[in-house]
Structure 1
Amino acid sequence: MDINAYIASGVLELYVAGALSEKENAEVYALIQKHPEILQEVLEIEAAVVKLTSSTSQRNNLHILENVKKELGFDGNDTKVVSLVKPKYNWITYTGWAASIVLAFGLLWTVNQNKQLQTDIQVAETQQSLLETQIENSKNSLAEANTLITVLRDDNIARIPLAGQGNFANTYAKVYWDKNEKRIFLDAQGLPDPPEGKVYQVWSLKLSPLTPTSLGTIDNFISDNNKIFEIENSNESEAFGITLEPAGGSETPTMEFLYTLGVVAS
Protein backbone atom coordinates (compact mmCIF):
# COMPACT_ATOMS: atom_id res chain seq x y z
CA MET A 1 0.00 0.00 0.00
CA ASP A 2 1.27 3.47 -0.95
CA ILE A 3 0.79 5.40 2.32
CA ASN A 4 1.58 8.79 0.81
CA ALA A 5 -0.89 8.28 -2.04
CA TYR A 6 -3.57 7.19 0.41
CA ILE A 7 -2.99 10.27 2.60
CA ALA A 8 -3.17 12.51 -0.47
CA SER A 9 -6.43 10.93 -1.66
CA GLY A 10 -8.61 13.01 0.67
CA VAL A 11 -10.16 9.98 2.37
CA LEU A 12 -8.81 11.01 5.77
CA GLU A 13 -10.40 14.46 5.51
CA LEU A 14 -13.76 12.78 4.81
CA TYR A 15 -13.17 10.44 7.75
CA VAL A 16 -12.61 13.35 10.12
CA ALA A 17 -15.61 15.17 8.69
CA GLY A 18 -17.80 12.08 9.19
CA ALA A 19 -18.65 11.81 5.49
CA LEU A 20 -17.79 8.15 4.98
CA SER A 21 -19.97 5.07 5.21
CA GLU A 22 -19.80 2.69 8.12
CA LYS A 23 -17.72 0.26 6.10
CA GLU A 24 -15.34 3.01 4.97
CA ASN A 25 -14.99 4.28 8.54
CA ALA A 26 -14.10 0.80 9.70
CA GLU A 27 -11.48 0.46 6.94
CA VAL A 28 -9.86 3.80 7.84
CA TYR A 29 -9.88 2.91 11.52
CA ALA A 30 -8.10 -0.37 10.77
CA LEU A 31 -5.44 1.47 8.76
CA ILE A 32 -4.95 3.99 11.59
CA GLN A 33 -4.13 1.15 13.94
CA LYS A 34 -1.69 -0.37 11.45
CA HIS A 35 0.10 2.73 10.08
CA PRO A 36 1.43 5.49 12.43
CA GLU A 37 1.74 7.84 9.43
CA ILE A 38 -2.00 7.68 8.84
CA LEU A 39 -2.68 8.23 12.54
CA GLN A 40 -0.46 11.32 12.52
CA GLU A 41 -2.25 12.71 9.46
CA VAL A 42 -5.67 12.18 11.09
CA LEU A 43 -4.53 13.97 14.23
CA GLU A 44 -3.22 16.90 12.20
CA ILE A 45 -6.48 17.13 10.24
CA GLU A 46 -8.53 17.07 13.46
CA ALA A 47 -6.31 19.76 14.97
CA ALA A 48 -6.79 21.92 11.90
CA VAL A 49 -10.57 21.47 12.05
CA VAL A 50 -10.66 22.40 15.73
CA LYS A 51 -8.56 25.47 15.08
CA LEU A 52 -10.71 26.53 12.15
CA THR A 53 -13.91 25.98 14.14
CA SER A 54 -12.69 27.99 17.10
CA SER A 55 -11.62 30.86 14.88
CA THR A 56 -15.07 31.17 13.27
CA SER A 57 -17.39 30.20 16.12
CA GLN A 58 -17.66 33.73 17.46
CA ARG A 59 -18.90 35.27 14.22
CA ASN A 60 -22.44 36.49 13.72
CA ASN A 61 -24.36 33.62 12.05
CA LEU A 62 -27.85 35.20 11.89
CA HIS A 63 -27.73 35.52 8.10
CA ILE A 64 -27.12 31.75 7.83
CA LEU A 65 -30.20 31.07 9.99
CA GLU A 66 -32.34 33.36 7.83
CA ASN A 67 -31.22 31.60 4.65
CA VAL A 68 -32.07 28.20 6.15
CA LYS A 69 -35.56 29.40 7.19
CA LYS A 70 -36.12 30.79 3.74
CA GLU A 71 -35.15 27.52 2.05
CA LEU A 72 -37.49 25.60 4.35
CA GLY A 73 -40.44 27.91 3.56
CA PHE A 74 -40.69 29.58 6.98
CA ASP A 75 -41.89 33.13 7.31
CA GLY A 76 -42.14 35.21 10.42
CA ASN A 77 -45.54 33.74 11.48
CA ASP A 78 -45.57 30.16 10.29
CA THR A 79 -44.58 27.23 12.33
CA LYS A 80 -43.76 24.11 10.41
CA VAL A 81 -42.69 20.72 11.58
CA VAL A 82 -39.77 19.25 9.79
CA SER A 83 -39.50 15.49 9.98
CA LEU A 84 -36.32 14.19 11.50
CA VAL A 85 -34.18 11.99 9.33
CA LYS A 86 -32.09 9.30 10.89
CA PRO A 87 -28.44 10.43 10.82
CA LYS A 88 -26.46 8.88 8.08
CA TYR A 89 -23.54 8.01 10.34
CA ASN A 90 -23.67 6.17 13.61
CA TRP A 91 -21.41 5.75 16.58
CA ILE A 92 -18.53 4.16 14.63
CA THR A 93 -17.56 7.57 13.22
CA TYR A 94 -17.08 9.02 16.67
CA THR A 95 -15.57 5.79 17.91
CA GLY A 96 -12.97 6.09 15.17
CA TRP A 97 -12.05 9.58 16.29
CA ALA A 98 -11.88 8.63 19.95
CA ALA A 99 -9.91 5.49 19.21
CA SER A 100 -7.39 7.37 17.11
CA ILE A 101 -6.80 9.85 19.93
CA VAL A 102 -6.47 7.08 22.50
CA LEU A 103 -4.10 5.23 20.19
CA ALA A 104 -2.02 8.37 19.69
CA PHE A 105 -1.63 8.89 23.44
CA GLY A 106 -0.79 5.20 23.80
CA LEU A 107 1.93 5.43 21.16
CA LEU A 108 3.40 8.56 22.73
CA TRP A 109 3.39 6.95 26.16
CA THR A 110 5.09 3.83 24.80
CA VAL A 111 7.77 5.88 23.02
CA ASN A 112 8.45 7.91 26.17
CA GLN A 113 8.63 4.77 28.30
CA ASN A 114 11.07 3.15 25.87
CA LYS A 115 13.27 6.26 25.86
CA GLN A 116 13.26 6.38 29.66
CA LEU A 117 14.10 2.66 29.86
CA GLN A 118 16.99 3.09 27.42
CA THR A 119 18.27 6.06 29.42
CA ASP A 120 18.08 4.10 32.68
CA ILE A 121 19.97 1.19 31.10
CA GLN A 122 22.69 3.49 29.77
CA VAL A 123 23.07 5.19 33.17
CA ALA A 124 23.30 1.81 34.92
CA GLU A 125 25.89 0.54 32.43
CA THR A 126 27.94 3.74 32.80
CA GLN A 127 27.86 3.53 36.59
CA GLN A 128 28.90 -0.13 36.48
CA SER A 129 31.74 0.68 34.09
CA LEU A 130 32.97 3.52 36.33
CA LEU A 131 32.81 1.28 39.39
CA GLU A 132 34.77 -1.46 37.64
CA THR A 133 37.37 1.11 36.55
CA GLN A 134 37.68 2.47 40.08
CA ILE A 135 38.12 -1.02 41.50
CA GLU A 136 40.75 -1.87 38.89
CA ASN A 137 42.57 1.42 39.51
CA SER A 138 42.52 0.75 43.24
CA LYS A 139 44.02 -2.70 42.69
CA ASN A 140 46.71 -1.27 40.40
CA SER A 141 47.47 1.59 42.80
CA LEU A 142 47.81 -0.84 45.69
CA ALA A 143 50.12 -3.09 43.69
CA GLU A 144 52.22 -0.10 42.61
CA ALA A 145 52.38 1.20 46.16
CA ASN A 146 53.58 -2.17 47.47
CA THR A 147 56.22 -2.35 44.73
CA LEU A 148 57.49 1.15 45.49
CA ILE A 149 57.68 0.44 49.22
CA THR A 150 59.75 -2.64 48.47
CA VAL A 151 62.08 -0.63 46.22
CA LEU A 152 62.55 2.17 48.74
CA ARG A 153 63.40 -0.29 51.52
CA ASP A 154 65.84 -2.34 49.44
CA ASP A 155 69.46 -1.38 50.18
CA ASN A 156 70.54 -2.92 46.87
CA ILE A 157 68.56 -0.32 44.94
CA ALA A 158 70.74 2.55 43.70
CA ARG A 159 69.37 6.04 44.30
CA ILE A 160 70.45 8.69 41.83
CA PRO A 161 69.28 12.30 42.34
CA LEU A 162 68.88 14.29 39.12
CA ALA A 163 69.57 18.01 39.58
CA GLY A 164 68.18 20.84 37.47
CA GLN A 165 70.38 22.12 34.64
CA GLY A 166 70.96 25.58 33.12
CA ASN A 167 67.69 27.47 32.62
CA PHE A 168 65.88 24.66 34.44
CA ALA A 169 67.84 24.80 37.68
CA ASN A 170 64.65 24.75 39.75
CA THR A 171 63.65 21.32 38.43
CA TYR A 172 64.66 17.98 39.92
CA ALA A 173 63.97 14.24 39.73
CA LYS A 174 65.22 10.97 41.25
CA VAL A 175 65.98 7.57 39.81
CA TYR A 176 65.72 4.30 41.76
CA TRP A 177 67.70 1.71 39.81
CA ASP A 178 66.93 -1.95 40.34
CA LYS A 179 69.84 -3.61 38.56
CA ASN A 180 68.66 -7.14 39.28
CA GLU A 181 65.29 -6.55 37.62
CA LYS A 182 66.84 -4.31 34.93
CA ARG A 183 64.46 -1.44 35.60
CA ILE A 184 64.36 2.02 37.06
CA PHE A 185 61.65 3.90 38.91
CA LEU A 186 61.71 7.57 37.93
CA ASP A 187 60.26 10.03 40.43
CA ALA A 188 59.55 13.06 38.22
CA GLN A 189 57.49 15.10 40.68
CA GLY A 190 59.94 17.99 40.33
CA LEU A 191 59.26 18.49 36.62
CA PRO A 192 56.56 20.85 35.29
CA ASP A 193 53.92 19.67 32.85
CA PRO A 194 55.39 19.65 29.32
CA PRO A 195 53.89 22.11 26.82
CA GLU A 196 51.53 20.87 24.13
CA GLY A 197 53.32 18.87 21.45
CA LYS A 198 56.28 18.11 23.73
CA VAL A 199 57.23 15.11 25.89
CA TYR A 200 59.94 14.27 28.39
CA GLN A 201 62.50 11.72 27.19
CA VAL A 202 64.68 9.72 29.58
CA TRP A 203 68.28 8.89 28.71
CA SER A 204 70.83 6.39 29.99
CA LEU A 205 74.34 7.83 29.58
CA LYS A 206 77.86 6.46 29.25
CA LEU A 207 80.26 9.26 30.14
CA SER A 208 83.50 8.38 28.35
CA PRO A 209 82.88 8.89 25.57
CA LEU A 210 79.48 10.50 26.13
CA THR A 211 76.98 8.03 24.69
CA PRO A 212 73.24 8.57 25.24
CA THR A 213 70.73 5.72 24.96
CA SER A 214 67.03 6.51 24.97
CA LEU A 215 64.90 4.79 27.61
CA GLY A 216 61.74 6.13 26.00
CA THR A 217 59.35 9.04 26.35
CA ILE A 218 56.91 9.71 29.18
CA ASP A 219 53.72 10.15 27.16
CA ASN A 220 51.35 9.98 30.13
CA PHE A 221 53.18 12.49 32.29
CA ILE A 222 50.23 14.90 32.70
CA SER A 223 47.62 12.22 33.37
CA ASP A 224 49.75 10.34 35.93
CA ASN A 225 49.02 11.81 39.36
CA ASN A 226 51.94 10.43 41.37
CA LYS A 227 54.54 11.12 38.63
CA ILE A 228 56.40 7.86 39.30
CA PHE A 229 57.22 5.82 36.20
CA GLU A 230 58.63 2.33 35.85
CA ILE A 231 61.06 2.08 32.91
CA GLU A 232 63.09 -0.84 31.59
CA ASN A 233 66.86 -0.33 31.66
CA SER A 234 69.29 -3.07 30.74
CA ASN A 235 72.17 -0.64 30.13
CA GLU A 236 75.34 -0.23 32.17
CA SER A 237 74.33 3.33 32.94
CA GLU A 238 76.81 5.84 34.35
CA ALA A 239 74.30 8.73 34.45
CA PHE A 240 70.71 9.54 33.73
CA GLY A 241 69.24 12.63 32.09
CA ILE A 242 65.84 14.00 31.10
CA THR A 243 65.26 16.28 28.11
CA LEU A 244 62.21 17.91 26.59
CA GLU A 245 61.63 16.65 23.06
CA PRO A 246 58.98 16.86 20.30
CA ALA A 247 56.14 14.35 20.62
CA GLY A 248 57.43 10.94 19.57
CA GLY A 249 60.90 11.58 20.94
CA SER A 250 64.28 12.20 19.36
CA GLU A 251 67.22 9.99 18.33
CA THR A 252 69.64 12.15 20.30
CA PRO A 253 69.01 14.42 23.29
CA THR A 254 68.35 18.12 22.70
CA MET A 255 70.94 19.53 25.09
CA GLU A 256 69.47 23.06 25.27
CA PHE A 257 66.39 21.42 26.79
CA LEU A 258 68.27 19.22 29.26
CA TYR A 259 66.13 19.58 32.37
CA THR A 260 67.83 17.24 34.85
CA LEU A 261 71.03 15.18 35.04
CA GLY A 262 72.45 12.83 37.65
CA VAL A 263 75.61 10.70 37.81
CA VAL A 264 75.56 7.18 39.25
CA ALA A 265 77.83 6.93 42.29
CA SER A 266 80.74 4.59 41.77
Structure 2
Amino acid sequence: MENKEYIASGILELYVYGLLSEAENEEIAMRAKNDPEIQAEIVSIEKSIIALSSSFSPFNSVGNYERIKEKLDLNPSPKVIELEPKRNISHYLGWAAAVILLMGIGFMYNQLTVTTNQVVNAETEKSKIEKELNTLTLENKAIESSLAIIRDTNTTVVALGGQAVAPESYAKVYWNKEAQKVYIDASGLPEPPKGMVYQVWSLKLNPLTPTSIGLLDNFNDNDKRLFPINAIIDAEAFGITLEPAGGSLTPTMEQLYTLGKV
Protein backbone atom coordinates (compact mmCIF):
# COMPACT_ATOMS: atom_id res chain seq x y z
CA MET A 1 0.00 0.00 0.00
CA GLU A 2 1.35 3.48 -0.94
CA ASN A 3 2.22 5.93 1.90
CA LYS A 4 -0.63 8.30 0.95
CA GLU A 5 -3.22 5.51 1.12
CA TYR A 6 -1.65 4.13 4.30
CA ILE A 7 -1.77 7.53 6.03
CA ALA A 8 -5.31 8.26 4.79
CA SER A 9 -6.61 4.94 6.16
CA GLY A 10 -6.54 6.29 9.75
CA ILE A 11 -4.45 3.42 11.11
CA LEU A 12 -1.68 5.78 12.30
CA GLU A 13 -4.17 7.67 14.51
CA LEU A 14 -5.25 4.37 16.07
CA TYR A 15 -1.56 3.57 16.63
CA VAL A 16 -0.97 6.87 18.46
CA TYR A 17 -4.08 6.31 20.63
CA GLY A 18 -2.92 2.77 21.51
CA LEU A 19 -6.00 1.07 20.02
CA LEU A 20 -4.24 -1.51 17.84
CA SER A 21 -3.08 -5.04 18.60
CA GLU A 22 0.49 -5.79 19.59
CA ALA A 23 1.23 -7.26 16.14
CA GLU A 24 -0.17 -4.17 14.38
CA ASN A 25 1.82 -1.86 16.69
CA GLU A 26 5.03 -3.75 15.89
CA GLU A 27 4.31 -3.60 12.16
CA ILE A 28 3.75 0.20 12.23
CA ALA A 29 6.79 0.80 14.47
CA MET A 30 8.99 -1.13 12.03
CA ARG A 31 7.53 0.74 9.07
CA ALA A 32 8.07 4.11 10.79
CA LYS A 33 11.67 3.16 11.57
CA ASN A 34 12.38 2.52 7.90
CA ASP A 35 10.19 5.26 6.40
CA PRO A 36 10.78 8.91 7.41
CA GLU A 37 7.45 9.98 5.94
CA ILE A 38 5.51 7.58 8.17
CA GLN A 39 7.59 8.61 11.22
CA ALA A 40 6.93 12.30 10.48
CA GLU A 41 3.18 11.65 10.20
CA ILE A 42 3.15 9.88 13.60
CA VAL A 43 4.98 12.83 15.23
CA SER A 44 2.52 15.22 13.59
CA ILE A 45 -0.47 13.30 14.96
CA GLU A 46 1.03 13.29 18.47
CA LYS A 47 1.61 17.05 18.33
CA SER A 48 -1.95 17.63 17.10
CA ILE A 49 -3.43 15.64 20.00
CA ILE A 50 -1.28 17.50 22.55
CA ALA A 51 -2.26 20.84 21.02
CA LEU A 52 -5.95 19.86 21.00
CA SER A 53 -5.88 18.91 24.68
CA SER A 54 -3.86 21.99 25.70
CA SER A 55 -6.17 24.39 23.87
CA PHE A 56 -9.01 23.41 26.16
CA SER A 57 -7.05 23.41 29.45
CA PRO A 58 -8.25 25.86 32.15
CA PHE A 59 -5.92 28.80 33.01
CA ASN A 60 -5.76 31.76 35.42
CA SER A 61 -5.34 35.28 34.00
CA VAL A 62 -2.57 37.69 35.12
CA GLY A 63 -5.22 39.83 36.87
CA ASN A 64 -6.32 36.93 39.05
CA TYR A 65 -2.71 36.21 39.97
CA GLU A 66 -2.07 39.83 41.06
CA ARG A 67 -5.26 39.96 43.20
CA ILE A 68 -4.30 36.75 44.99
CA LYS A 69 -0.74 38.02 45.57
CA GLU A 70 -2.09 41.32 47.03
CA LYS A 71 -4.34 39.51 49.51
CA LEU A 72 -1.43 37.36 50.63
CA ASP A 73 0.79 40.44 51.21
CA LEU A 74 -1.89 42.26 53.28
CA ASN A 75 -2.39 39.37 55.67
CA PRO A 76 0.69 38.64 57.84
CA SER A 77 -0.91 35.48 59.08
CA PRO A 78 -1.57 33.36 56.08
CA LYS A 79 -5.11 32.21 55.75
CA VAL A 80 -6.71 29.90 53.35
CA ILE A 81 -8.33 31.96 50.64
CA GLU A 82 -11.37 30.31 49.31
CA LEU A 83 -11.60 30.74 45.56
CA GLU A 84 -14.78 30.05 43.75
CA PRO A 85 -14.23 27.07 41.48
CA LYS A 86 -13.96 28.13 37.88
CA ARG A 87 -16.35 26.19 35.73
CA ASN A 88 -14.84 26.19 32.27
CA ILE A 89 -17.12 24.11 30.07
CA SER A 90 -14.63 24.36 27.22
CA HIS A 91 -12.35 21.98 29.15
CA TYR A 92 -14.98 19.26 29.08
CA LEU A 93 -15.83 20.04 25.47
CA GLY A 94 -12.19 19.49 24.56
CA TRP A 95 -12.11 16.01 26.04
CA ALA A 96 -15.49 15.24 24.52
CA ALA A 97 -14.18 16.32 21.13
CA ALA A 98 -11.13 14.05 21.57
CA VAL A 99 -13.36 11.09 22.47
CA ILE A 100 -15.63 11.76 19.48
CA LEU A 101 -12.56 11.98 17.25
CA LEU A 102 -11.35 8.61 18.49
CA MET A 103 -14.77 7.07 17.95
CA GLY A 104 -14.90 8.53 14.43
CA ILE A 105 -11.48 7.14 13.55
CA GLY A 106 -12.46 3.74 14.95
CA PHE A 107 -15.67 3.76 12.93
CA MET A 108 -13.78 4.71 9.75
CA TYR A 109 -11.26 1.92 10.32
CA ASN A 110 -14.04 -0.63 10.86
CA GLN A 111 -15.81 0.57 7.71
CA LEU A 112 -12.57 0.24 5.76
CA THR A 113 -12.15 -3.33 7.03
CA VAL A 114 -15.75 -4.21 6.11
CA THR A 115 -15.36 -2.70 2.65
CA THR A 116 -12.09 -4.57 2.07
CA ASN A 117 -13.71 -7.86 3.08
CA GLN A 118 -16.64 -7.18 0.76
CA VAL A 119 -14.27 -6.56 -2.15
CA VAL A 120 -12.40 -9.82 -1.43
CA ASN A 121 -15.68 -11.76 -1.20
CA ALA A 122 -16.91 -10.19 -4.44
CA GLU A 123 -13.70 -11.20 -6.26
CA THR A 124 -14.00 -14.76 -4.92
CA GLU A 125 -17.65 -14.99 -6.00
CA LYS A 126 -16.77 -13.56 -9.43
CA SER A 127 -14.05 -16.18 -9.91
CA LYS A 128 -16.45 -18.95 -8.87
CA ILE A 129 -19.12 -17.75 -11.31
CA GLU A 130 -16.57 -17.54 -14.15
CA LYS A 131 -15.49 -21.15 -13.53
CA GLU A 132 -19.11 -22.33 -13.48
CA LEU A 133 -19.79 -20.40 -16.69
CA ASN A 134 -16.79 -21.98 -18.42
CA THR A 135 -17.95 -25.43 -17.33
CA LEU A 136 -21.47 -24.78 -18.63
CA THR A 137 -20.07 -23.47 -21.92
CA LEU A 138 -18.06 -26.66 -22.45
CA GLU A 139 -21.06 -28.82 -21.53
CA ASN A 140 -23.29 -26.90 -23.96
CA LYS A 141 -20.77 -27.36 -26.77
CA ALA A 142 -20.65 -31.09 -26.09
CA ILE A 143 -24.46 -31.31 -26.07
CA GLU A 144 -24.71 -29.30 -29.31
CA SER A 145 -22.17 -31.59 -30.96
CA SER A 146 -24.04 -34.74 -29.91
CA LEU A 147 -27.41 -33.28 -30.94
CA ALA A 148 -26.01 -32.45 -34.38
CA ILE A 149 -25.09 -36.12 -34.87
CA ILE A 150 -28.42 -37.38 -33.50
CA ARG A 151 -30.42 -35.08 -35.80
CA ASP A 152 -28.32 -35.81 -38.86
CA THR A 153 -30.32 -37.69 -41.51
CA ASN A 154 -27.27 -39.88 -42.14
CA THR A 155 -27.36 -41.17 -38.56
CA THR A 156 -28.62 -44.73 -38.02
CA VAL A 157 -30.60 -45.27 -34.82
CA VAL A 158 -30.39 -48.75 -33.30
CA ALA A 159 -32.78 -49.60 -30.46
CA LEU A 160 -31.41 -51.97 -27.82
CA GLY A 161 -33.96 -53.96 -25.83
CA GLY A 162 -33.67 -55.32 -22.29
CA GLN A 163 -32.40 -58.86 -21.76
CA ALA A 164 -33.00 -61.55 -19.13
CA VAL A 165 -30.85 -59.94 -16.40
CA ALA A 166 -32.74 -56.63 -16.71
CA PRO A 167 -35.86 -56.90 -18.94
CA GLU A 168 -36.92 -53.33 -18.17
CA SER A 169 -33.63 -51.87 -19.44
CA TYR A 170 -33.23 -50.23 -22.85
CA ALA A 171 -30.77 -48.02 -24.75
CA LYS A 172 -30.19 -46.44 -28.17
CA VAL A 173 -27.18 -46.30 -30.46
CA TYR A 174 -26.76 -43.26 -32.74
CA TRP A 175 -24.29 -44.29 -35.45
CA ASN A 176 -23.15 -41.86 -38.13
CA LYS A 177 -20.84 -43.71 -40.53
CA GLU A 178 -20.05 -40.62 -42.58
CA ALA A 179 -18.93 -38.54 -39.58
CA GLN A 180 -17.52 -41.64 -37.85
CA LYS A 181 -19.33 -40.73 -34.64
CA VAL A 182 -21.20 -43.05 -32.24
CA TYR A 183 -23.29 -41.97 -29.25
CA ILE A 184 -25.04 -44.18 -26.71
CA ASP A 185 -28.25 -43.01 -25.07
CA ALA A 186 -28.14 -44.95 -21.78
CA SER A 187 -31.08 -43.24 -20.09
CA GLY A 188 -32.86 -46.59 -19.86
CA LEU A 189 -30.09 -48.29 -17.87
CA PRO A 190 -30.01 -48.40 -14.06
CA GLU A 191 -27.04 -46.94 -12.21
CA PRO A 192 -24.24 -49.53 -12.15
CA PRO A 193 -23.19 -50.96 -8.76
CA LYS A 194 -20.02 -49.61 -7.17
CA GLY A 195 -16.93 -51.09 -8.83
CA MET A 196 -18.84 -51.97 -12.02
CA VAL A 197 -19.12 -50.28 -15.42
CA TYR A 198 -21.23 -50.67 -18.56
CA GLN A 199 -19.27 -51.83 -21.61
CA VAL A 200 -20.53 -51.41 -25.21
CA TRP A 201 -19.88 -54.07 -27.85
CA SER A 202 -20.25 -54.08 -31.62
CA LEU A 203 -21.19 -57.54 -32.91
CA LYS A 204 -20.69 -59.58 -36.05
CA LEU A 205 -23.35 -62.27 -36.08
CA ASN A 206 -21.90 -65.03 -38.25
CA PRO A 207 -19.81 -66.14 -36.58
CA LEU A 208 -20.63 -64.20 -33.40
CA THR A 209 -17.71 -61.83 -32.89
CA PRO A 210 -17.90 -59.15 -30.17
CA THR A 211 -15.61 -56.09 -30.24
CA SER A 212 -15.42 -53.63 -27.37
CA ILE A 213 -16.04 -50.05 -28.53
CA GLY A 214 -16.09 -48.22 -25.22
CA LEU A 215 -17.05 -47.89 -21.57
CA LEU A 216 -19.82 -45.73 -20.13
CA ASP A 217 -17.51 -44.15 -17.55
CA ASN A 218 -18.64 -41.65 -14.89
CA PHE A 219 -22.19 -42.87 -15.34
CA ASN A 220 -23.58 -41.15 -12.24
CA ASP A 221 -22.00 -37.79 -13.17
CA ASN A 222 -23.53 -37.75 -16.66
CA ASP A 223 -27.06 -36.49 -15.99
CA LYS A 224 -27.93 -36.60 -19.73
CA ARG A 225 -26.81 -40.24 -19.94
CA LEU A 226 -25.48 -39.54 -23.46
CA PHE A 227 -22.00 -41.00 -24.04
CA PRO A 228 -19.64 -40.66 -27.02
CA ILE A 229 -17.75 -43.89 -27.79
CA ASN A 230 -15.18 -45.11 -30.27
CA ALA A 231 -15.99 -44.91 -33.97
CA ILE A 232 -16.61 -48.23 -35.76
CA ILE A 233 -16.31 -49.28 -39.38
CA ASP A 234 -19.03 -51.89 -39.47
CA ALA A 235 -21.39 -53.70 -37.10
CA GLU A 236 -24.43 -55.97 -37.39
CA ALA A 237 -25.62 -55.56 -33.80
CA PHE A 238 -24.80 -53.81 -30.53
CA GLY A 239 -24.89 -55.04 -26.96
CA ILE A 240 -24.22 -53.56 -23.52
CA THR A 241 -22.94 -55.66 -20.62
CA LEU A 242 -22.12 -54.90 -16.99
CA GLU A 243 -18.42 -55.53 -16.32
CA PRO A 244 -15.88 -54.93 -13.52
CA ALA A 245 -14.38 -51.44 -13.47
CA GLY A 246 -11.90 -51.07 -16.31
CA GLY A 247 -13.85 -53.38 -18.63
CA SER A 248 -13.33 -56.94 -19.85
CA LEU A 249 -11.67 -58.53 -22.92
CA THR A 250 -14.83 -60.50 -23.68
CA PRO A 251 -18.46 -59.78 -22.74
CA THR A 252 -19.97 -61.38 -19.66
CA MET A 253 -23.12 -62.82 -21.25
CA GLU A 254 -24.79 -63.40 -17.86
CA GLN A 255 -24.64 -59.60 -17.43
CA LEU A 256 -26.00 -58.70 -20.88
CA TYR A 257 -28.37 -55.79 -20.19
CA THR A 258 -29.39 -54.71 -23.71
CA LEU A 259 -29.06 -56.01 -27.25
CA GLY A 260 -30.20 -54.75 -30.65
CA LYS A 261 -29.69 -55.58 -34.31
CA VAL A 262 -28.77 -52.92 -36.88
TM-score, length-scaled by structure 1:
0.56
- The C-alpha deviation readout for 1:182-223, integer Å capped at 9, x for no partner, is 332322232122233332111123445544322121124333
Give the corresponding residue for 2:143: 141
> How many pairs are equivalent?
194
Greater CA drift, 166-175 or 244-253: 244-253
In the TM superposition, 1:108-147 aligns within 5 A as 108-147=110-149
**Structure 1's 38 and 147: CA in aligned 2 closer, same or farther, altered over 3 A?**
same
Give the corresponding residue for 2:220: 222
Give the corresponding residue for 2:186: 188
| Residue 179, structure 1, aligned to residue 177, structure 2 | yes
Query: Hey, what's the Cα distance between the residues in 2 that align with 1:233 and 1:39?
Result: 65
Secondary structure of residue in 2 paired with 1:186: strand
Kindly provide the amino acid, as one letter, of the partner of residue 221 in structure 1: F
Give the corresponding residue for 1:163: 161
Query: Hey, what's the Cα distance between the residues in 2 that align with 1:184 and 1:136?
Result: 19
| Residue 32, structure 1, aligned to residue 16, structure 2 | yes
**Structure 1's 96 and 37: CA in aligned 2 closer, same or farther, altered over 3 A?**
farther
RMSD of aligned Cα (Å): 4.0
Gaps of 5+ in 2: 1-11, 26-79
Query: Hey, what's the Cα distance between the residues in 1 that align with 2:138 and 2:225?
Result: 19
**Structure 1's 250 and 83: CA in aligned 2 closer, same or farther, altered over 3 A?**
farther
Kindly provide the amino acid, as one letter, of the partner of residue 245 in structure 1: E
| Residue 233, structure 1, aligned to residue 231, structure 2 | yes
Secondary structure of residue in 2 paired with 1:118: helix
TM-score, length-scaled by structure 2:
0.57
8 Å Cα contact 1:29/1:96 also seen in 2: no
- The C-alpha deviation readout for 1:21-80, integer Å capped at 9, x for no partner, is xxxxxxx97843698215999xxxxxxxxxxxxxxxxxxxxxxxxxxxxxxxxxxxxx97
Secondary structure of residue in 2 paired with 1:112: helix
Kindly provide the amino acid, as one letter, of the partner of residue 237 in structure 1: A
**Offset at residue 112 of structure 1 (A):** 0.7
Secondary structure of residue in 1 paired with 2:219: coil
**Structure 1's 117 and 98: CA in aligned 2 closer, same or farther, altered over 3 A?**
same
8 Å Cα contact 2:197/2:246 also seen in 1: yes
Give the corresponding residue for 1:102: 104
Query: Hey, what's the Cα distance between the residues in 2 that align with 1:114 and 1:171?
Result: 56
Gaps of 5+ in 1: 1-27, 42-78
**Offset at residue 243 of structure 1 (A):** 1.1
Kindly provide the amino acid, as one letter, of the partner of residue 162 in structure 2: G
8 Å Cα contact 2:200/2:239 also seen in 1: yes
Percent of aligned pairs sharing the same letter: 35
Query: Hey, what's the Cα distance between the residues in 2 that align with 1:96 and 1:130?
Result: 51
8 Å Cα contact 1:39/1:100 also seen in 2: no
Greater CA drift, 195-204 or 220-229: 220-229
Kindly provide the amino acid, as one letter, of the partner of residue 203 in structure 1: W
Kindly provide the amino acid, as one letter, of the partner of residue 186 in structure 1: I
8 Å Cα contact 2:149/2:176 also seen in 1: no
